[in-house]
């Protein structure tokens, strides 16, 4: 069996129990996928260095070798905080109003991708499968090909692919997308993101798409498909049944004092629709005076990307908005929103999910959303809670028995909370069973198998040794 070389921006190899914390969805999913693999996970350590040397730190835990490098401050500013999180993240989440285009960001992004390519290449053996993850590393495949790598290489995008009309607002967008054609397989979470990608390739690059999923642009061909990511179902159900989860369950139930809980768990990010969620809940409190005091919202939102200004702003807005709603509706013995900016261990989260009458998961745009699946997996089969889910999350295409809502509509959110509160047990069980079946079958192992087996099928001999002259994302201005 080939080894698997996973390359992503950050590396979070599985840690001993008790070192939980707020890992992102990608980290959680890949830890699970790599646990069984004889593989290497390569990426940035999260640390800075004065001078990039290409030194790699190796660590081994539970069969996974992690290989990490430190980056210079300028790299982190331009590549991570810059192009990845101030340009691509907002653009790919349809927020061109927040996207910042700066040539230095694009230059830093290219430089760091080159540094990754230079450093990881010596670790890759001829038979290895290479699997690159997410928007931080789109051009890495082309950088590796330029250095002569002929291995089977796949790329998975964990966030949405934007409609072409938005994508073209990115300067030198063609260069970025052409660089993706260096991979053999490209994966998206849903057909919707895949369609947008195909549409871009046809409209902007003059490519064409075969019915079998192969995309052709000039003499290059790549297979692109949808592979919806799942959770580590077994691990999460075990977490939900652990002693720590029971303690967390009891803690929440005790403090709820007979009141029902609406739970939300999200990285503090504008794409997660937290402001709109609070306003929808506020509308509910306004419209249903009789329900005040009978329920409360627990919003867990560990801060992320604190060095990016838009994240400071959203944090301030949410502090202010939650305070305002609490001030407006609270009683001496009841506060409508418990807004918590810290992370919890996975067992704790599982216990909180199980203790909650409903989950309100309403991103404005989300590649998939793993919290929705975790909520389903954590429920008591005899008395499950209700999932209210944004129709703009990738997960909505699989979890059709959730109460699907438009997260921008306060009325829809309010109505859905009311429906969930009053949903009869039989209906809750029926909806939950169908969602649970999907979360259980299409788990992270299924996701990894689907992607990796398509990558294994790539016929390298047929592909030949392609050249990849990729236009720069930050060409220097032409001087007279
Ligand atoms: C990206 C895409 C896609 C959150 N708070 C705590 C905590 N978490 C964990 C959750 C969940 C993960 O973080 C969040 O995953 P999501 O999928 O909801 O969102 P992103 O972080 O934005 O992930 C997303 C994902 O990649 C995978 O492809 O689904 O669309 O945006 O697992 O449980 N974990 C702990 N404590 C917390 O307080 N332990």
- What would the DSSP string read from start to end of 85-100? IIIIHHHHTT-TTT--
What is the maximum alpha-carbon separation in the chain? 75
Cα dihedral 467, 450, 229, 205 in deg (nearest 10): 30
Question: What stretches of 361-479 show up as alpha helix (H) in DSSP?
Answer: 370-377, 410-421, 425-441, 444-456, 460-463
**What are the phi and psi torsion angles at 144 (to 5°)?**
-70, -40
Write down the pTM of the prediction: 0.95
Cα 302 to middle of ligand 1, angstroms: 10
Q: Catalytic site residue 127? A: no
* Closest of 22, 58, 53 to residue 43, by C-alpha: 58
Counting as low any pLDDT under 70, the low residues of the chain are 13-29, 32-33, 36-37, 464-469, 477-480
Beta-bridge mates of residue 340: 300
Q: Which of 75, 232, 266, 366 is catalytic?
A: 366
* Closest of 225, 219, 326, 229 to residue 281, by C-alpha: 326
Q: Do domains 4-230+444-462 and 234-441 have the same CATH topology?
A: yes
Alpha-carbon span 347 to 344, nearest angstrom? 8
- Ligand 1: which atom is nearest the Cα of residue 366? 30
Give the distance from CA 75 to its chain's centroid: 22
* pLDDT tens profile 418-437: 999 999 999 999 999 999 99
Half-sphere exposure of 301 (CA within 13 A, CB side): 29
* Closest of 374, 402, 408 to residue 389, by C-alpha: 402
> 231: Cβ–Cβ under 8 A, 6 or more apart, which residues?
28, 29, 32, 370, 373, 374, 377, 439, 443, 444
Q: Catalytic site residue 158? A: yes
Half-sphere exposure of 409 (CA within 13 A, CB side): 14
Cα 19 to middle of ligand 1, angstroms: 16
Beta strands in 335-390 (DSSP E): 337-340, 358-361, 386-390
Q: Which of 93, 133, 158, 189 is catalytic?
A: 158
> 258: Cβ–Cβ under 8 A, 6 or more apart, which residues?
none
- Ligand 1: which atom is nearest the Cα of residue 371? 18
Domains of the chain: which residue ranges?
A: 4-230+444-462, 234-441
**What are the phi and psi torsion angles at 415 (to 5°)?**
-60, -40
Tell me the residue length of the chain: 480
Domain 4-230+444-462 in CATH 3.40.50.720? The answer is no
> 3-state SS string over 100-113?
CCCHHHHHHHHHHH
Cα 341 to middle of ligand 1, angstroms: 15
Alpha-carbon span 35 to 12, nearest angstrom? 12
Question: Tokens 């390739």 sit at which residue?
Answer: 201
Q: How far apart are the first and last CA of the chain?
A: 56
Q: According to the model, what pLDDT value does residue 20 have?
A: 44
Can you name the CATH fold of 234-441?
A: Rossmann fold (3.40.50)
Alpha-carbon span 35 to 398, nearest angstrom? 25
Cα dihedral 43, 46, 49, 52 in deg (nearest 10): 20
Q: According to the model, what pLDDT value does residue 472 have?
A: 80
Q: According to the model, what pLDDT value does residue 478 have?
A: 66
- Ligand 1: which atom is nearest the Cα of residue 374? 33
Alpha-carbon span 128 to 32, nearest angstrom? 19
Q: If you compute the radius of gyration of the chain from its CA atoms, what whole number of angstroms results?
A: 23
* pLDDT tens profile 213-252: 999 999 899 999 999 999 999 989 999 999 999 999 999 9
Cα 95 to middle of ligand 1, angstroms: 20
> Is 360 in a helix, a strand, or coil?
strand
Q: According to the model, what pLDDT value does residue 437 have?
A: 98
| Pocket mutation for ligand 1, best pick of 6, 18, 23, 442 (most atoms within 8 Å of C-beta) | 23
User: Would you state the structure tokens that stand for residue 121, as one six-digit string?
Assistant: 């290449």
Alpha-carbon span 12 to 246, nearest angstrom? 27
> CA triplet 349, 268, 168: central angle to 5 degrees?
130
């Amino acid at each position: 069996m080939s080894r698997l070389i996973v390359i992503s921006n950050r590396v979070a190899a599985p840690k001993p129990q008790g070192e939980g914390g707020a890992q992102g969805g990608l980290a959680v999913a890949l830890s699970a996928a790599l646990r069984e693999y004889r593989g290497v996970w390569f990426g940035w350590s999260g640390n800075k260095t004065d001078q990039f040397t290409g030194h790699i730190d190796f660590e081994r835990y539970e069969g996974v070798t992690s290989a990490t490098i430190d980056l210079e401050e300028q790299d982190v500013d331009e590549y991570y905080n810059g192009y990845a999180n101030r340009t691509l993240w907002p653009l790919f989440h349809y927020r061109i109003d927040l996207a910042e285009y700066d040539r230095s960001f694009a230059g830093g992004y290219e430089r760091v991708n080159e540094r990754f390519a230079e450093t990881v290449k010596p670790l890759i053996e001829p038979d290895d499968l290479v699997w690159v993850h997410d928007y931080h590393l789109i051009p890495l495949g082309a950088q590796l090909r330029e250095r002569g790598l002929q291995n089977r290489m796949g790329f998975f995008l964990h966030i949405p692919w934007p409609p072409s009309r938005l994508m073209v607002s990115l300067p030198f967008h063609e260069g970025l997308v052409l660089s993706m054609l260096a991979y053999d397989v490209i994966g998206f979470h849903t057909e919707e993101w895949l369609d947008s990608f195909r549409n871009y390739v046809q409209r902007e690059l003059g490519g064409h798409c075969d019915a079998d999923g192969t995309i052709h642009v000039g003499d290059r061909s790549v297979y692109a498909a949808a592979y919806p990511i799942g959770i580590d179902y077994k691990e999460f159900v075990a977490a939900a049944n652990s002693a720590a989860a029971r303690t967390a369950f009891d803690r929440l139930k005790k403090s709820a004092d007979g009141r029902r809980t609406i739970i939300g768990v999200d990285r503090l990010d504008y794409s997660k629709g937290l402001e709109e969620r609070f306003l929808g809940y506020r509308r509910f409190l306004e419209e249903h005076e009789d329900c005040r005091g009978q329920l409360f919202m627990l919003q867990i939102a560990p801060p992320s990307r604190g060095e990016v200004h838009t994240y400071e702003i959203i944090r301030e807005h949410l502090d202010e908005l939650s305070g305002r709603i609490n001030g407006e509706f609270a009683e001496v013995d009841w506060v409508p929103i418990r807004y918590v900016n810290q992370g919890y261990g996975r067992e704790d989260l599982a216990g909180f999910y199980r203790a909650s009458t409903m989950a309100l998961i309403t991103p404005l745009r989300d590649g998939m959303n793993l919290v929705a699946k975790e909520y389903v997996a954590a429920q008591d089969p005899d008395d499950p809670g209700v999932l209210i889910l944004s129709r703009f999350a990738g997960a909505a295409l699989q979890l059709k028995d959730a109460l699907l809502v438009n997260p921008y509509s306060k009325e829809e959110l309010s109505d859905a909370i009311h429906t969930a509160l009053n949903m009869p047990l039989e209906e809750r069980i029926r909806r939950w069973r169908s969602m649970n079946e999907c979360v259980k079958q299409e788990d992270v192992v299924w996701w990894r198998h689907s992607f990796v087996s398509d990558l294994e099928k790539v016929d390298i001999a047929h592909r030949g040794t392609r050249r990849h002259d990729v236009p720069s994302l930050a060409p220097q201005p032409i001087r007279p």
